[in-house]
Structure formats: structure tokens, C-alpha cells
Amino acid sequence: MQQAGEAQDRNDNPFEYTLSLIGGKWKMRIIYRLVCEKSQRYGELKRSLPGITHKMLSSQLKELEAAGIVSREAFAETPPRVEYALTARGRTLMPILDAMCNWGLDHAT
């Protein structure tokens, strides 16, 4: 459920709203990994993000899922299998990732 303050923040300051969803050290890295690999299991994501703790990866995935950027699919298997992927909303961030990569290429020393 959307709170009144959230809708106002989204309209009054779209930059801050976007940053609240994808800001921080790990979220864009997680999104980038999911762009590169389409979907990944938790352990695959963990291995592809050196330095991230289990607690941090879990919390960041939950926040991205709550924001509608990442989907979590649990399979009824033994052992349990869960895969994460970008949602349609998450894929709309791809131009931002492309711009960041291009900027890095243009300005790398």
C-alpha cells in the first residue's frame, strides 16, 4: 500500500525517490548482475558480488522485491530452489546501467 508521503516524494523530487529505490553500495550491482544473467539463484548472486554479506544480500533483495524491481520465484523442489530476476519495472533501469557503463568507458584512466 502506498503512503501519502511516498506519492508526494515521487512527484516533488523524482531524483530522491529513484535514489531511495536503487541507491546504496549493492543495489545497482545486484541489478547489473541480473541484467547480465537474466535470473540467478541466491548463491550465484552471492558469488558474483565479492564482499557482500549474506545479511546484506538478503536485505537488498527484499528491498528490491518490495520496490517491484526484482522478482523472487520459489520452486517446489528438494532441495529448495529460489531464483531472482528483474521484473518489467526493473528492466526499465537498463538505460541507466548502459549510461553508467558508457560513462565509465569514456572516463576510465
Q: How confident is the model at residue 1 (pLDDT cuts 50, 70, 90)?
A: very low
Please give the C-alpha separations between residue 101 and each of 33, 34, 97, in angstroms, as whole numbers: 13, 15, 6
Which pLDDT belongs to residue 12? Answer: 84
- Report pTM: 0.85
Residue 96: predicted pLDDT: 95
Task: Note the pLDDT tens digit of each residue in 47-86.
Answer: 999 999 999 999 999 999 999 999 999 999 988 899 999 9
Average pLDDT, the chain: 91
Q: What is the DSSP string of 23-58?
A: -SSSHHHHHHHHHHHSEEEHHHHHHHSTT--HHHHH
Q: What is the pLDDT of residue 11?
A: 72
Structural domains in the chain, CATH included, are 23-107 (1.10.10.10)
